[in-house]
Structure 1
Amino acid sequence: MTNLKAYAPAPADLEGGLASLQGDCARMAPHWAAPERHTSLPVPPSLIHGVRVPARSARLLDAMSDYGD
Structure 2
Amino acid sequence: MTPYPAPQEPQESEFSLAELCGDGARMAPHWVTPSSPVAAPVSPALIHGVEVPADSARLIAATPEYGI
Normalised-by-shorter TM-score class: 0.3 to 0.5
What TM-score do the two structures reach when normalised by structure 1? 0.42
What TM-score do the two structures reach when normalised by structure 2? 0.43
Which one has the bigger helix percentage?
1
